[in-house]
Structure 1
């Protein structure tokens, strides 16, 4: 059945008694096509432009009390009209050969992206808890700024190793299973963090490294899973929605953690977020599959829509891509350098923003959390906007290469300029505005290098994501520790902000010279 657009039909579900063998004019009038003259002919609705709407009638049951179901398919969503004595839900269920009612429901791919967005929110919230909790812990144990950088970076020690392995595992076993194991393990590490801090700094560093090891699989799992479940013209929006959840995790963590620290103590936020991970697993394991073809709940029309919009619809029996060949192409290095630069700036702000506001403007911990949360909240919105804009440009037939370069240029040049201006901020409000601009514009990278991995290597995106993410994690370790030493030696954040802005500008130039939206591997 072909997909019809424009115009989009308005489908109304109704029940009728009587002879199901014929459709009356009254019954056909319930299927409305704005500005179109429709007739029922040989099981097909044809409009005046000559386009066809998928439309078929199925006889369910026998005798005069039988039921006819007229099903109309568009935009990957099925709708039904039944005629007879039985309910729409049971008729549709019998027609598809499954139990239970099937009515007008949310497409399965939307359910997948909703669960993915939630777990990405949890992923980042679990990270941020330590960024806030480290302030009272440092005061309690007398940690220096340089040691704070070591504690903050310990998460990345494990993260750097699991990115490559996690990417390869995702390509082999799929995003569902790898993500589930990752969430289970990082929730355990989150629960153990306050206990380790009370025991010794060595235990704390070990648990944080294990936490990073578990979280390293989240990004490649998300990227690969969404590429399987969404057609190419919806992929940027799906990634934007998932990353919006990721950035909202910063807001949730920054706002809830100070409240729970003051009311419950250090164990409070860690216990809460680890419990949420286990609750999420109860929905994820039975509700999601690695590939839409494996889903028992997806409609035929939605599966057809997804498959028609993908260039890589058959991920089976993929040959291993040698690392030497992967690294021999400049588009690969464009992605690697972009990931390094993005992580450099991202983790500087993620790890040091509360400390920055407290040190530079002498605000208390709760105020610092509020000033830090605002930029992450706007980043969630701007990231989704970047995704929908990217999809709209691709639908308008702009070259994918051009779209990726535009998005990534905004994602690097904008934050670089904002960080330079941050050196001249005189109030916490001005600083918060500039950080908001920097993070909001950096979210355009989600429609740049993050999606470009699927463009150049659709069958090896997990592996490529792991390689680039490991390089990005190394950059994040250097920037997180380096910020602490710069602040301790020079007494201010200004020098490091200038260095970060310069890196943004240089990588933007390299990206525009060598990135491509064409398939390379």
Structure 2
């Protein structure tokens, strides 16, 4: 998930050259062309600082993971600068991806609400198995999705991901068998596993490096919006329809609509949108200033990926961050209901509150990160600082939650738990300007592969966290302190 401290690498972006010239004049090969065999990647080499407007740098000279040198931030006096972010064509692309991620999280979080009505309170281990089933499929499809997106384009893979997710969600209420529910949730997870890897090449083509923190904050906000809608409306759908199946029908239908939106409205590259007359020449020049094209090599340097310490450090951070976040998404409704005996309407309200702050903090934090870059603060410094704050602050909040005792709603312990949960979950949004943006920094041309590997590892935490939590809570509901201290660690 989009939203560590470690030897994070700074980005060293390379120029695109003229958007229509392609490889023949020194630019990166255009989409649809193979770059030949993957170039030998000298990870340990010291990269020379390259002016982002130099059109002569080619893919053969670009290392995968570069030393922490800084790309030149373009001058705001440049005639190619199309400085408006909101209202631009690239912002329109981000809005579509925002809606996609909202729909994906509707289909992901709906089970966290439905499971309250599907199982009794003393069946915590069974709940953990069902909640983790999504991530079995989610982890399995990441690398394949990244490969397909890199070779055939992100839009096709993203569209199929949404369609499969929609159909699988609609199938869940057709049979009450626990085995059937687990299998279908795994299928939905497998389809959603292609969502983020397929978005990475689209972002790499559309978003200049100096806007990527803001761009990721926009699309990552869709996670929170989808979570909020699912947690808030789910209990009301159950009350209106009288059964938990309505949650899956509604979220499946919404994703079918999003499949149509992506198929019709999303352009994979700026050139495709310009061909339709929707993109100005000035904005295309602006995008090309800090653009990174996706290379489609015949072979992938997997050894270099998996032996590079800076990249592996980000993968480790991804796993640790996702453990706490995915656990909260899975168990938050059950936590309020079982520990503080809240009503269904209160459960919906209290589950939504911690998620509201994430997009707000994410956008503010990412904008601040891009502002620091514009002030010539080193990229590696910005990424490390945002990662540190975004990890340490939530960790402290989870540790404080371990001291909260079970009681009726509105007791002092409940009010403290609610405030601490809101602060801890919201501050995770700061990570968007840190490690979450780093995949686009350290290897923009291979970002589909890099992110898919890391997201597979992160998804393992989505499998383990519910299972471990279910096993801990199956003995006693009083063991929530152990759960929170596990997240803190």
TM-score normalised to the size of structure 1? 0.74
Show the counterpart of 1:436. Answer: 422
Count of residue correspondences: 402
Query: 1:247 is matched with which residue: 224, 237, 245?
Result: 224
Give the CA deviation at 1:283. 2.2
**2:364 is the counterpart of 1:385:** yes
Show the counterpart of 1:93. Answer: none
Show the counterpart of 1:131. Answer: 112
For the residues of structure 2 that align with 1:252 and 1:403, how far apart are their CA atoms? 32
Q: Could you say if the C-alpha distance between residues 353 and 321 of structure 1 is closer, same or farther in structure 2, counting changes exceeding 3 Å?
A: same
Pairing of 1:31-430 with structure 2 (within 5 A): 75=82, 106-139=87-120, 144-196=123-175, 198=176, 200-264=177-241, 265-295=243-273, 296=275, 297-310=278-291, 312=292, 314-318=293-297, 320-425=299-404, 426-430=412-416
RMSD: 2.0
For the residues of structure 1 that align with 2:456 and 2:77, how far apart are their CA atoms? 49
For the residues of structure 1 that align with 2:313 and 2:77, how far apart are their CA atoms? 44
For the residues of structure 1 that align with 2:78 and 2:169, how far apart are their CA atoms? 51
* 1:404–1:452 CA contact under 8 A, matched in 2: yes
Secondary structure of the structure 1 residue equivalent to 2:294 = coil
Secondary structure of the structure 2 residue equivalent to 1:496 = helix
* Residues 409-441 of structure 1, C-alpha deviations (whole Å, 9 max, x = no match): 111101110001112235333212111111111
Give the CA deviation at 1:380. 1.4
Give the CA deviation at 1:143. 6.7
For the residues of structure 2 that align with 1:443 and 1:76, how far apart are their CA atoms? 25
* 2:142–2:453 CA contact under 8 A, matched in 1: yes
Higher relative contact order (CA 8 A, sep 6+): 2
* 1:76–1:304 CA contact under 8 A, matched in 2: no
Q: Could you say if the C-alpha distance between residues 74 and 470 of structure 1 is closer, same or farther in structure 2, counting changes exceeding 3 Å?
A: closer
* Residues 306-338 of structure 1, C-alpha deviations (whole Å, 9 max, x = no match): 01122x2x3344453322221111111111111
Larger strand percent? 1
Secondary structure of the structure 2 residue equivalent to 1:427 = helix
* 1:145–1:487 CA contact under 8 A, matched in 2: yes
* 1:156–1:473 CA contact under 8 A, matched in 2: yes
For the residues of structure 2 that align with 1:461 and 1:480, how far apart are their CA atoms? 29
* Residues 381-403 of structure 1, C-alpha deviations (whole Å, 9 max, x = no match): 11111211111111111111111
Secondary structure of the structure 1 residue equivalent to 2:445 = coil
For the residues of structure 1 that align with 2:187 and 2:266, how far apart are their CA atoms? 26
TM-score normalised to the size of structure 2? 0.79
* Residues 57-93 of structure 1, C-alpha deviations (whole Å, 9 max, x = no match): xxxxxxxxxxxxxxxx862679xxxxxxxxxxxxxxx
For the residues of structure 2 that align with 1:405 and 1:106, how far apart are their CA atoms? 30
Residue segments in structure 1 that go unaligned for 5+ positions in a row: 1-50, 55-72, 79-104, 503-521
Show the counterpart of 1:67. Answer: none
Q: Could you say if the C-alpha distance between residues 74 and 409 of structure 1 is closer, same or farther in structure 2, counting changes exceeding 3 Å?
A: closer
Q: Could you say if the C-alpha distance between residues 227 and 201 of structure 1 is closer, same or farther in structure 2, counting changes exceeding 3 Å?
A: same
Secondary structure of the structure 1 residue equivalent to 2:140 = helix
Secondary structure of the structure 1 residue equivalent to 2:141 = helix
Give the CA deviation at 1:501. 0.5
Structure number with larger C-alpha Rg: 1
* 2:169–2:251 CA contact under 8 A, matched in 1: yes
For the residues of structure 2 that align with 1:342 and 1:280, how far apart are their CA atoms? 28
For the residues of structure 1 that align with 2:289 and 2:78, how far apart are their CA atoms? 16
Secondary structure of the structure 1 residue equivalent to 2:288 = helix
* Residues 179-198 of structure 1, C-alpha deviations (whole Å, 9 max, x = no match): 111000000011111113x2
For the residues of structure 1 that align with 2:149 and 2:434, how far apart are their CA atoms? 21
